[in-house]
Amino acid sequence: MVRTALFNWAFARHTGGTFVFRIEDTDSARDSEESYNALLDSLRWLGLDWDEGPEVGGEYGPYRQSDRLPVYAEVAKRLRAGGFAYDCYCSATELEARRELAKSQGRTPGYDGKCRELTDEQISAYEDEGREPVLRFRMPDRDYEWDDLVRGSITFAAEHVPDYVLVRGNGEPLYTLVNPVDDALMRITHVLRGEDLLSSTPRQIALYEALAAIGVSDGTTPRFGHLPYVMGEGNRKLSKRDPESSLLMYRETGYLPEALLNYLALLGWSMGDDQEFFSKEQMAEVFTLERVNQNPARFDLVKCTAINGDWIRSLAPAELVERITPFLVTAGLIPQQPTAEQLALLAASAPLIQERMENLSQSVGMLSFLLVPPERFVVDAADLGVLGVEAASTLTAARAVLVGLPTWRTAAIHEALTGALVDGLGLKPKLAFTPLRVAITGRRISPPLFESMEILGKSGCLARLDAAIGGG
C-alpha cells in the first residue's frame, strides 16, 4: 500500500496534478475506526501529504467510502433500472458446483449468466425460498483493450471477463462498484495500483461506460498503470501477513520514514545514473512512468536497513538527538521532558553512535550505560565472562592511572590508558581495552570507549571499575 501511495504521490507532484486520498472502508467486518486512524497516522508519519481527502476536504467529499453509502445505493438502483445490472440469486454452493463443472469440461470458469434473464415466476420462487440476491453487473459481450501506463497495450477477451458482483446480498457495496463510482464522481484521471488488480480493469472500464450512460459521469475513463509485484522470501508475492509488510514494525524499530520511502521507491523504479540515495522530493522532480519496471521487484530487508543507516548518518547531530529521544523515553532512560543535563549528554554522545546505527532503536542499547542511574547499571550477561579473574589486574592498572589523571578529556584518557596497559603491561590493545570497555559500558560493542569515558565522567568510571574489580 505504501509503495503504491508513494508512486501516486510522486506522479501527482511531478505532473502538477492533485493527489487524492480516499479511505476504502466499506467492508464492515474488517474495517474499524482504529484502522482508519492508524492509516491517517501512517501517511502523516511518512510525510505523504494529500491535496484532497480526510482532514483536508475537497470539492468531491466525503472521501471516506463508509460515509458515501447512500451514493452507492442510488447508483446501484440506476444501474439495475437501466439494465446494466441484475439481481442474481445463485447460492455460493451452486456457483462453486458450476465452476467445477466448467473446469472439468475445459471451459473457462466464471459466472455463466444463469440469472441474467430470469422470469417473474423464477424470481418469485427464489424469493419464496428466502434467498437474498446480489447485484451483478452485465458485462458486454466484447473484448476490452487499453493502453496501460506501465505495461502498454493490454487485451482481455470477453470469455475471461464474466458478469461480476457489485453489491452483496445484505446490501453492502463492493470494491467493484464503489471505486469506479468514486473515480467518476471525483473526476479521477490517473490511477496507479498493484498488478494484482489488473484483471479488474476491463470490468471497471465497462462500468465507467455504464455510469456515463446513466448520467453519473461525463464519460471520462481514468488511465491505469499497474505496478509490478513486490516479492518476498522464496520469490513469492509479499503479503500483508509478512513481517516485512508491517509499517508499524519499521516505525517501532526505528526506521526513518525518509529511508523507508527511499527504499520503496527502488522497488520497481529507478532514479537513473545508479543513484540510490534520494528524498521523496528529489524523486518527484524526475518521476516518470517510463522508468517503472514491469518485472517483479524483490524486497531485501538487508538493503532497506543499509539505506536506513545511510539516512541516519545524514542527519545533523541535533536532529539525531530529536529522533532517538522517543525511543529513550519509551525505554525509561529519560523522562518525557529531559533535563538540560540529559540533553547535553545526548548532544555529546549522539555523534559517537551515529556511524554505528542501523536503526534508531539501537540507541537504547548503545546509550543506556550513560543514562541509567548507578544502581541500575548492569553488565550484559553474554559479556560477563570478559570480567573474570584474569581481567582484574588489567582493570586495577587502569584504575590506578585514571584516579590521578588531572585532565578528564578523551585524548588524555587514551594516552594514559595506552601507556599503562599497552606499554606498561605489554598487552595488545584488544586484550587491554575489551575488559575496560565491558566494565565501563556493560557491553563488548559500544560507542568509542575513550569518548564515552569522558562523557560518563571520572567518578562514574572509577565507580564502575571498582565494581568490576570487586566482582572479579
The structural domains of the chain, with segments of one domain joined by +, span 68-187+204-217, 315-372, 381-471
One pLDDT digit (tens) per residue for the chain, 472 residues: 899 999 999 999 999 999 999 998 887 666 678 888 888 999 999 999 999 999 999 999 999 999 999 999 999 999 999 999 999 999 999 999 998 988 888 888 889 999 999 999 999 999 999 999 999 999 999 999 999 999 999 999 999 999 999 999 999 999 999 999 999 999 999 999 999 999 999 999 999 999 999 999 998 899 999 999 888 776 666 656 655 568 889 999 999 999 999 999 999 999 888 899 999 999 999 999 999 998 998 889 999 999 999 999 999 999 999 999 999 999 999 999 999 999 999 999 999 999 999 999 999 999 999 999 999 999 999 999 999 888 999 999 999 999 999 999 999 999 999 999 999 999 999 999 999 999 999 999 899 999 999 999 999 999 999 999 986 4
Predicted local confidence at residue 261, as pLDDT: 97
Predicted local confidence at residue 380, as pLDDT: 92
HEC assignment per residue over 73-129: HHHHHHHHHCCCEEEECCCHHHHHHHHHHHHHCCCCCCCCCCCCCCCHHHHHHHHHC
Predicted local confidence at residue 35, as pLDDT: 81
- How many CA atoms does the CB half-sphere of 462 hold within 13 Å? 11
**What CATH number was assigned to the domain covering residues 315-372?**
1.10.8.70
Nearest of 296, 253, 292, 260 to residue 279 by alpha carbon: 260
Write out the CATH class of domain 68-187+204-217. alpha beta
pTM above 0.75, yes or no: yes
Predicted local confidence at residue 461, as pLDDT: 96
The topology under which CATH files domain 381-471 is Arc Repressor Mutant, subunit A (1.10.10)
In the chain, the amino acid numbered 432 is: A
Predicted local confidence at residue 459, as pLDDT: 95
In the chain, the amino acid numbered 87 is: D
**Looking at the annotation, which residues are catalytic?**
240
In the chain, the amino acid numbered 80 is: R
Please confirm whether the linkage preceding 62 is cis (ω < 30° from 0).
yes
| Contacts with 173 (C-beta within 8 Å, 6 or more apart), sequence order | 26, 69, 72, 73, 76, 166, 167
